[in-house]
Structure 1
């Protein structure tokens, strides 16, 4: 089953996409489908690819952070200054110690039945043994090398003056913030041994089968999988010549440098008389952004790199108002209104294109992408029914402008050709401004320490919160129209905490739950993907040995819950993730 040429050449990612994209295509066998509504919940697919893969990475992270703070308080004045600098370096020591993907595959008919819904693994009939290495052929071996350097410098100077009367204080300040990311990426795909039997690398190329796959989840799916051995793949593929290969034009196109210089000035006045207090202020922000990278130009036969740089400058004025009123000795009302800014991720501002390996798709940055702004209001009422108890309710509203959404377009990249040698259309997904959405809802909370209980139970307490959120939106992301939804936002969420804190001992058990939410709506899927409702039981205990030394024990997802994803409806199985239980034992010390 030689899908690729049997040679020892290095074929870089994107240099000859006809090699990487000319794969056997899956075909739904006519007459085998069982349809429920508009979904094929069962059937047979020919030319299905079964992949045994291992991905391992040797990420190294170096972080240095330095901070200085000074404060002076002459009479009614307060003068303060802060200087902070940090540097983060995330990288791989070498190509052999980077992200390596060792893969083997075979093609066979695939019979499945997903009629049980998304909460069970689909039933899959085995036509070839999944764990038999003799069935597998070597698949392209991939190496992804990354080197990312981040620098962050932030300095603030603030002056405040106290007054008598209605105006309590005036505060004025300025801030300078510099942030830069220098990111280099190199992707290598090696095809020289492609199509050869996995067993041709020897028994060291695979280990004992992985067993117990998603054991907490029901369904009649395979639970044992063959696992490649990355050391054997590295020995066979990564020759000294490959290790010395310089980044190609596509690697340069995925690398970038983005720098931000942010100048901020602000003025705030604090006021109050009797039961009413508050503050009003305004913040002015000027941003200079420089995004640099490399684009791929030239002909299909001779692509070449060209450096590009995109400057961008913009100004924003962000006012705010906060009020607090004591309606009685145990009843407090609050109101807030503000204009706020949310900046995009640095990688979304980068002039970069990263091409997929097995499909004519890619992702890219947008150096013209700006932060999105929002006008928000919230008001709350808090009732302190005892010294250690509180009931509160709040309503909130947020209107977002220039919301960042996904957009897709067709591009042609020099050197990316189809099997006939013609330019290959690439579907590129990137981020753009232009969406709008409104978010509103209510939140209710209750907290109390049962101080009225006899010792030692008087350290017991509870906390509980419930939030209801509604969304009014109408925007496009990729090729999909999204109405009244935002990614990652659940309509209902709640948490409950039982805690104890008395003397040297403290502990808490919490349950955090959220309703289903939109997980992804972009060009990489045919339908929006949802994450089903999920709850996690967590806990922690600690004991203070001395005033400066504490022992801690923390547990996450103690009930071993799984997260379920589906597309559009419960029959369109997408993904099941089981992260298992995480238990951490630690010691905390103060010096």
Structure 2
């Protein structure tokens, strides 16, 4: 049967099984019927099923029938979610924006497929698998959507408001990932999907594979169903970036005051991602239609690594040449001369994330009016990260021209060098090993949850049913998160430089030979020949030396080679004093137990004509945390001439302590839907919701450290005076309360055809108890010494509002003649505005305060305007899609770790597309393309309280093309 044939779907008007809306929609779009028990009097419905139309029709039906404000992405074809990842698919939903950097706090590293989603301008959304809790084992509280194989999904449902039977935790909304079940379709289904991805900068071809087998059997013991699916996806991509250093306001002779960057840097990153997932589902229904049992296992396993080469500096100052040019505000072009501290560094990061979800569900229908559902779930999650860096060091001049779109940058040999630039950057005598940085994470989390729901249908009056339920869960999570430990390997103040050529020199670049030789670690070359697709010069000669990637491939190799190079200075995180477990200090280990108990009651109502319907309910939540932590006092360098009391205070001591807190909440909700006419409905939704702090904010720890300033008073290159200028501490806060929000939505939805809708939603949120940073002085005594310490950490503070508008439209133009009738369009637009909403300004990893340079910053992660335009075509055997996503400028981070300044992501969009051809009713081939327009992503840094913004970085990444084969039987 072809995709365009009419399918007869049996619909049981008073089915005892109240199947999920997803199951009903998938069944209606599949090539067969939902084969439930049905007698001859049951009606038949006719449903026209087509590929893209089927998906959009399902999503439209689910949105229309939902009990609160929502949006849906549906995949009626198996393994056919319309984007390459769940996160990429989410960006098409009104109100959702995705982050394209590796993390919002890290604006220097681009991501393969994004790293997180904001919903209506906020990150506090809740993530679910099949309406149940789900999370990744990190310092956050939810799921990393980019780690979930999209091939496992039947639908993604974004709830914008709450009903009482929904699990608490999302004030922005709830994002529910629905997997497929064997009873979703009729009889046997076999699906196979294979693709080859090609990335044009990396010039790498990698495979994707997914497969599914589903079947159901009627027996004397009842009906049985079984489904098994598996998916594996590999991707290799690259990105290049150009980055200006911290700007300085300089007085330029004959010009006046102008902002001038102290340096310019270049970075290449190769990223490898492998995502593996699978699911196994068993279902059984008895023959009399009173019992339905479902057992399901879902596994998501993601591994990602990136290898980075950078030629840049955090603080090297180069002075503009006399022939430099300027506009009325800043440096435009010229040479920055005399920068003696460029880093040529190599960095490798490996991460593995695993989430396993086991669930059992029993649905009982003892009478036609009474339904009882028992549900049990167990989640086991883990995350491991190893991040290693080795920094080489050299001198360089740099030419830069920022007068056009993409900057033109050329790194040059210092003017004092007799070598050409090509000779200079490939001579190991010009590079020494400056420093290293290591970081490790080893996290695991487990959760067990049990749910009881009871639903009783009433036979008359406005109230149609009463529903109630209980849920109990316990989540145990241990996060082990080491600091990013920077350590010197060699420097003039550390006894001299150890150069790549194996020579020790106490005075680099003075033209005099070194005095000592040694066995240096490996170094390699980095190819900058086609940097930024050849749109900028890069490094003269095309190559530059850098520490070998072999140094950062494994932690053991890293430790052994750097220890041999610098035995007097190198200390890895695994070699520190006072370790409690593996390479972790006591205050880097964060065990938390969360116990949650919830109960709800909800009534569903409708008028006799069923034109007015809705629900009203109340949810009670009892939440408690038990945390184990400790305090630590970072030791000072005893080689510096510091006062004895300060050395005694910062003695490296550690202690441990426990804390336990509890909190209770009542969360009312009310949802109303009014059918103005058959195809036009209005909604009103009001609810109170809470969002929980990230696990990292709840850490029971106190890390005390000192800021040291040292002086050389007699010009003999020896520090003879040192003082502690600041006594500081970072802390977590196990007594943080959840954020609270009053949510209101008013929506108007017009469904003018099976695949045709126009909707408008106005939303308002009153939010209180934000998670933000606080600082206060505290008297702390250690080792007999007392100091006044400025303690910084997370607190609840303030209240604010978020208001917005969402518009959405979709339609196929079926009335057009012939092949033109295959044209379709999807479009949506979101406007978001915040008032008095404080930025979080917290590091959820370390739990501490993040100081910001300026006040009155906008809400991080929130674009005021976003829109999607998707052109569709489906006619006979051809289907195509061209999707453009755009968002306005937004604050990426309140404080960049390097510049210490706020960084903004510039406005911009990305164009993706696909085209498929049906060879026959079982076989489809196609092409998918991502980043068709070769988008350049720009960031800007705010440099003063007045809001002046200057260019910071330019990023370019691969265009991706995939050749796809899909088979369904």
Alpha carbons of structure 1 residues 320 and 406: separation in structure 2 relative to 1, 3 Å: same
Query: What is the CA–CA distance in structure 1 between the aligned matches of 2:892 and 2:882, rounded to whole Å?
Result: 28
Alpha carbons of structure 1 residues 134 and 545: separation in structure 2 relative to 1, 3 Å: farther
For residues 380-428 of structure 1, give each alpha carbon's deviation from its aligned partner in whole angstroms, at most 9, with x where no partner exists. Answer: 112233443222222111111112234467899999xxxxxx9999998
Matched, 1:269 2:603: yes
Matched, 1:174 2:470: yes
Corresponding residue of 1:131: 425
Q: Which has the larger displacement, 31-40 or 473-482?
A: 31-40
Report the Cα offset of residue 333 of structure 1: 0.8
Corresponding residue of 2:351: 59
| Residue in structure 2 matching 1:436, options 787, 793, 799 | 799
Query: What is the CA–CA distance in structure 2 between the aligned matches of 1:530 and 1:242, rounded to whole Å?
Result: 34
Corresponding residue of 2:691: 342
Matched, 1:215 2:533: yes
For residues 238-273 of structure 1, give each alpha carbon's deviation from its aligned partner in whole angstroms, at most 9, with x where no partner exists. Answer: 579979746645733222122211111111111011
Residue aligned with 1:231, SS:
helix
Q: Which has the larger displacement, 172-181 or 353-362?
A: 353-362
Corresponding residue of 2:223: none
Query: What is the CA–CA distance in structure 1 between the aligned matches of 2:828 and 2:737, rounded to whole Å?
Result: 34
Query: What is the CA–CA distance in structure 1 between the aligned matches of 2:534 and 2:794, rounded to whole Å?
Result: 37
Matched, 1:383 2:750: yes
Matched, 1:404 2:771: yes
Alpha carbons of structure 1 residues 386 and 89: separation in structure 2 relative to 1, 3 Å: closer
Q: Which has the larger displacement, 332-341 or 247-256?
A: 247-256
Corresponding residue of 2:883: 510
Q: Which has the larger displacement, 253-262 or 126-135?
A: 126-135
Give the CA RMSD over aligned residues: 4.2
Q: Which has the larger displacement, 45-54 or 275-284?
A: 45-54
Q: Which has the larger displacement, 259-268 or 42-51?
A: 42-51
Query: What is the CA–CA distance in structure 2 between the aligned matches of 1:562 and 1:137, rounded to whole Å?
Result: 33
Alpha carbons of structure 1 residues 193 and 87: separation in structure 2 relative to 1, 3 Å: same
For residues 119-159 of structure 1, give each alpha carbon's deviation from its aligned partner in whole angstroms, at most 9, with x where no partner exists. Answer: 54375663444733432110223332221112122221100
Report the Cα offset of residue 205 of structure 1: 1.5
Matched, 1:575 2:869: no
Report the Cα offset of residue 489 of structure 1: 0.8
Report the Cα offset of residue 364 of structure 1: 5.3
Are 2:742 and 2:767, in contact at CA under 8 Å, matched by a contact in 1?
yes
Residue aligned with 2:836, SS:
strand
| Residue in structure 2 matching 1:555, options 929, 942, 949 | 929
Corresponding residue of 1:101: 389
Structure number with greater Rg is 2
Alpha carbons of structure 1 residues 131 and 245: separation in structure 2 relative to 1, 3 Å: same
Q: Which has the larger displacement, 382-391 or 148-157?
A: 382-391
For residues 161-181 of structure 1, give each alpha carbon's deviation from its aligned partner in whole angstroms, at most 9, with x where no partner exists. Answer: 001320011110111222232
Query: What is the CA–CA distance in structure 2 between the aligned matches of 1:288 and 1:428, rounded to whole Å?
Result: 25
Corresponding residue of 1:311: 660
Report the Cα offset of residue 433 of structure 1: 1.9
Corresponding residue of 1:282: 618
Q: Which has the larger displacement, 569-578 or 121-130?
A: 121-130
Corresponding residue of 1:71: 363
Query: What is the CA–CA distance in structure 2 between the aligned matches of 1:84 and 1:40, rounded to whole Å?
Result: 59
Corresponding residue of 1:198: 500
Corresponding residue of 1:7: none
Query: What is the CA–CA distance in structure 1 between the aligned matches of 2:856 and 2:573, rounded to whole Å?
Result: 49
Alpha carbons of structure 1 residues 371 and 563: separation in structure 2 relative to 1, 3 Å: farther
| Count of matched residue positions in the alignment of Structure 1 and Structure 2 | 556
For residues 50-79 of structure 1, give each alpha carbon's deviation from its aligned partner in whole angstroms, at most 9, with x where no partner exists. Answer: 111221134334443211111011220111
For residues 194-247 of structure 1, give each alpha carbon's deviation from its aligned partner in whole angstroms, at most 9, with x where no partner exists. Answer: 620023266941134344333376688877554421325735225799797466
Q: Which has the larger displacement, 260-269 or 56-65?
A: 56-65
Alpha carbons of structure 1 residues 520 and 454: separation in structure 2 relative to 1, 3 Å: same
Corresponding residue of 1:4: none
Whose strand proportion is higher, 1 or 2? 1
TM-score (norm 1): 0.80
Are 2:731 and 2:793, in contact at CA under 8 Å, matched by a contact in 1?
yes
Query: What is the CA–CA distance in structure 1 between the aligned matches of 2:706 and 2:436, rounded to whole Å?
Result: 11
Are 2:832 and 2:864, in contact at CA under 8 Å, matched by a contact in 1?
yes
Are 1:296 and 1:414, in contact at CA under 8 Å, matched by a contact in 2?
no
List runs of 5+ in structure 1 lacking aligned partners: 1-22, 93-97, 416-421
Corresponding residue of 2:591: 257
Corresponding residue of 2:629: 293
